Structure 1
Amino acid sequence: MKKHLLSTSAIALGVAMAAPAAAQEWDVSFGGYMSQHVGYVDVNGSANAGQDYDGVNILSNSEIIFTPSITLDNGLTFGVNVQLEGNNSPGSQIDESYMTISSDTLGQIIVGGENSAGYKSMVGAPGVTTMYINSPSISAFIPFSNAYPGGFRQAGLSSFTEVAGNNDVQRLTYFTPSFNGLTVGISYAPTASAGQNAGAVAAGNLDRNANLSDIFDIGVNYSQTFGTTSVTLSARYGTGNSAIVGVSDPETWGVGAQIGFSDFLIGGSYAENNNGAAGGVGGGLPADYGSNNKGWNLGVTYDIAGPWAVEAVTYQGEVSTATGKARYEAYRIGASRDLGPGVDWDIYLAQVNSHNGGVGAARLTSNGTLIGTGINLSF
């Protein structure tokens, strides 16, 4: 990430007033990314009856990330991370917004709207292209929500889960320093019902009798290299207090691993969400969420001599519903070419098959095939 230093007189004056007798200065920097995908899609299935999704579509995804920081004489580094969405969306224009406090001996403290320690500790199947199937991203081309009730940050669609599917809520997180490659993190969020990045003023005061509350997450990550072999292992667990009488507290857990040797990288993960009962608990979960989400992914990449790398990856998800086991199957093969510093070109073929678990006339399906290409810029 390139660092762009701002040296206007106003900023210089602000730094001088903050630390008049010290040599510390704020490193006011920013970076970000932009991905533009163009693909041809063929969609079919009973859930899409009377609708026409076939043809060419375009997906844009971009953010500008501001990361000012300062290191004090005592060795503590204070930093800010604010992620501005580069595309209009129904949600907030700010993705994540949080403060960090870190040092080599302290580890790292994160305060603000960010994912949990469990989420941040997880690893899964590797990939080289950015048309993600271990997330709902591919739904921009292949609409499957009418057939499959798996949701964002739920194991039915992604092994990178959160308790009851919360996302970037106000949270306090601590990560230990790395001990020979081992890092442990723990998080606490007062509620998942305030919405992404909303503080107490925006969300209103927290009534624990009416909201999912007191969410705890723990994550463990171990990463080490042995000769020419690299190993990364991860595990996480999270739970919260349900406000619904007679409904058990929601939980999520997962494990993941990656092993690299020669020019190959192989990895996968497995995760579950137990949301207490059909209908979910708090956090704005829709009524068609099942009481249990589970999913796994597996993938391999190969770095070809030269600028190309290739991949093969799958995600398999399942959601318990009143009508049966709804299923999501996604497959992707692709290649990515390094065009220069921070510039990649992707080509890929992806397939999604999904259904709602119904029988006979109640069975809804949504299937699609995508052939696409994308340019990814990272700066």
Structure 2
Amino acid sequence: MKKILFASTALVAAGMMSAGAASAAEKIKLDISGYSKWWVVGVWQDDSFQEQAGLAAASYRSNADVKGDNEIHFKGSTALDNGLKVGVVITMEAGGHSDGVTDGIDNAYSWIEGGFGKVLAGMHANGTSLLHVQAPDAAANFTKGGMMLGNFSVSRPGTVMGMNQRVGYTSSSNTTNIISDDKAEKLTYVAPSFYGLTLGASYVPNVARNATGTSLGGHSRGTGNDRLQAWGGGALYANTFGPVGVKASAGYVWVDLKAVANKAENAFTQQSYGAQLSYAGFTLGGSFQRASDDRRNGGNTAAALSGTSQIGTIKGAQAAGVDVDFGGYAYDVGLQYASGPYAVSFAYFHSSVIGLSNTTLRNGKDDTIDAYQASGKYNLGPGVDVLASVGYIEYRDQRDGIAGATAAVNSQYSNSGWAAMTGLSLAF
């Protein structure tokens, strides 16, 4: 993968040198676009979870809420006299989650494009994520960023882990898309499409986008980590054969983690696959991701290692000197039908991963998440859609039902519930 990316970078440099003088016809001007989605959400979840230990009796969550997903896009580009195109993209989260974290700059990168393909530099989704195919959803409200699977409706127990935990964080996103780098600064190369096939690759110097700690070149690194590099590549094939449309994707990401404080070595990898078939308004699709975190603790104590795993904390009860593997997988499948202004869909998501537990053994289980969702969309006019979704989700911690635990203790390890919502999507 390194050789491929280095070769593509050299190709870009050679193309620029041989293209002649590079002057822009005019200065780049930014255009504004984006979208605004607002949902009225109703939620009904387990009473036993809401009354768990640590909460006062009858301390229930609200059954209704208003949530949004809003972005403003600033984009601009220009064509140089030598034929190259250059541009900039900045996207801003414009509110709706009310958490004080996601409301900020989401993407910020520059790009250059020519016959060699396209190179992006800055904060953006990695090449594997850009090309990934998933289950369809009529309201674009499933898995990553969805109101239910995005953990914005039915409460996810804090100890239940999904896929794609960001490095240095204990939260996770419920999706097969590889987004663990959280759009950290990177270089991405996307090759020109060839008979429907598009290839992309990314190099991420530091996957801990917002972590603090050891400084390297004046930039933030992950706390206690010397090396957090990532390499990844993906492929997308999209074509039509008469009335049948075909999409298929595959991706692989490898992260090189070296914990200085613990002298531990960690090779973290993620694989993703997806496919869709469409015919006569129907689209059937699904995707799969597998992650593996093979940490060799180098003879350190279990206590020293308990907080160093980047995707799931190593169990504190593991003996020193023993290799510890993190494993997890997730998949989704969905069917959508669209005709004229209408679209309806049904999708299912499942994940199973080793969760966070420093002091308790796995109880022979993994953390699991199961979600079902039906969605609909009706287009009222250009850029104006009415949306609706209804779904059921169940979160279960690996320790749920552990022997000897009281009902009150076990109640904090699982939660399930229904979510129904309707909203309006405005694209501009």
TM-score (normalizing by structure 2)? 0.75
The corresponding residue for 1:53 is 61
Q: CA RMSD in A?
A: 2.9
Which residue does the alignment assign to 1:4?
none
Whichever residue aligns with residue 349 of structure 2, its letter is Y
Letter in 2 for 1:260: S
Query: Which has the higher mean CA deviation after the structures are superposed, 25-34 or 185-194?
Result: 25-34
Query: Which residue number in structure 1 is paired with residue 124 of structure 2?
Result: 114
Any idea what SS the aligned residue of 2:286 has? strand
Aligned to 2:233: 218
CA change 1:52–1:147 in 2 (3 A) is farther
More displaced 10-residue stretch of structure 1: 169-178 or 207-216: 207-216
Question: Is 2:38 the counterpart of 1:43?
Answer: no
Q: Which has the larger radius of gyration?
A: 2
Q: Deviations over 1:107-142 (max 9, x none)?
A: 110000112111111111011113323556421111
2:75 to 47, 59, 67: 67
Tell whether 2:282 aligns with 1:258: no
Query: Hey, what's the Cα distance between the residues in 1 that align with 2:368 and 2:158?
Result: 12
Instruction: Figure out how many residues of one structure are paired with residues of the other and give that number.
Output: 353
Unaligned runs of 5+ in 2: 1-20, 167-171, 296-304, 316-324, 356-360
- What's the counterpart of residue 328 of structure 1? 369
* Aligned equivalent of 2:327, options 277, 280, 292: 292
Alignment of 1:1-379 (within 5 A): 23-44=25-46, 46-49=48-51, 50=55, 51-87=59-95, 89-91=99-101, 93-103=104-114, 105-134=115-144, 137-138=147-148, 139-146=151-158, 148-150=160-162, 152=164, 157-162=174-179, 165-195=180-210, 204=219, 206=221, 210-244=225-259, 245-277=263-295, 287=313, 291-304=326-339, 306-321=340-355, 322-323=361-362, 324-358=365-399, 359-360=401-402, 361=405, 363=410, 364-379=413-428
**Partner of 2:267: helix, strand, or coil?**
coil
The verdict on how the C-alpha distance between 1:280 and 1:344 changes in structure 2, with shifts beyond 3 A counting, is: farther
- Which amino acid in the other structure matches residue 193 of structure 1? A
| Residues 135, 219 of structure 1: alpha-carbon distance in 2 compared, 3 angstrom cutoff | same
1:156-201 deviation per Cα after TM superposition (whole angstroms, max 9, x unaligned): 7210114xx22111100101000011011111011112428xxx89
Q: TM-score, normalised by structure 1?
A: 0.84
Task: Decide whether the 8 Å contact of 1:216 with 1:239 is kept in 2.
Answer: yes
The structure-2 alpha-carbon separation of the partners of 1:37 and 1:78, relative to structure 1 and needing over 3 Å to count, comes to: same
Deviation of 1:21 after TM superposition, in Å, equals: 8.2
Distance change in 2, residues 1:203/1:25 (3 Å): closer
Query: Which secondary structure state, in structure 1, belongs to the residue aligned with residue 266 of structure 2?
Result: coil
Give secondary structure in 2 for the equivalent of 1:123: coil
SS state at 2:366 partner:
strand
One-letter identity of the residue aligned with 2:176: S
| 1:216-248 residue CA offsets vs partner (Å, 9 max, x unmatched) | 000011101111111011000011111133443
Structure 1 unaligned runs (5+)? 1-18
Aligned partners of 2:49 and 2:328: how far apart in 1? 21
Q: CA deviation at 1:56?
A: 1.1
Identity of aligned residues (%): 23
Mapped contact 1:269–1:297 kept (Cα < 8 A): yes
Q: Distance in 2 between matches of 1:377 and 1:354?
A: 32
- 1: distance between equivalents of 2:314 and 2:60? 24
Q: 1:21 to 1:135 in 2, by over 3 A?
A: closer
1:14 corresponds in structure 2 to none
Q: Residues 143, 288 of structure 1: CA spacing in aligned structure 2 closer, same or farther, 3 A cutoff? A: farther
Equivalent-residue separation in structure 2 for 1:161 and 1:192 (angstroms): 12
Matches of 2:250 and 2:345, distance apart in 1? 24
Q: Name the CA distance, whole Å, in 1 between partners of 2:285 and 2:36.
A: 26
SS at match of 2:225: coil
Residue 261 of structure 1 deviates from its aligned partner by 0.6
| 1:45 Cα deviation after fit | 5.8
Deviations 1:55-82 (A, max 9, x none): 1111111111100111112221111111
Alpha-carbon spacing, 1:27–1:226, altered in 2? closer, same or farther (3 Å): farther
Distance in 2 (CA, whole Å) between partners of 1:84 and 1:237 is 28
Against the structure 1 CA distance between its residues 142 and 186, is the aligned structure 2 distance closer, same or farther, given a 3 Å change threshold?
A: same
Give the whole-Å Cα distance in 1 for the aligned partners of 2:221 and 2:72: 31
In the aligned structure 2, how far is the partner of 1:207 from the partner of 1:349? 39
* Residues 336 and 201 of structure 1, relative CA distance in 2, 3 Å threshold: farther
Shift of 1:48: 3.1
Please tell me the residue identity of whatever aligns with 2:288.
Y
Output one character per residue of 1:299-330: Cα deviation in whole Å (capped at 9) or x when no partner. 011013x4211000111011124422111001
2: CA distance, partners of 1:310 / 1:73: 47
CA drift at 1:99: 0.6
Determine if contact 2:163/2:353 at 8 Å carries over to the other structure: no
Q: Which amino acid aligns with 1:39?
A: V
Cα distance in 2 for residues equivalent to 1:373 and 1:183: 36
Q: Partner amino acid for 2:423?
A: G
Q: Quote the offset at 1:146 in angstroms.
A: 2.6
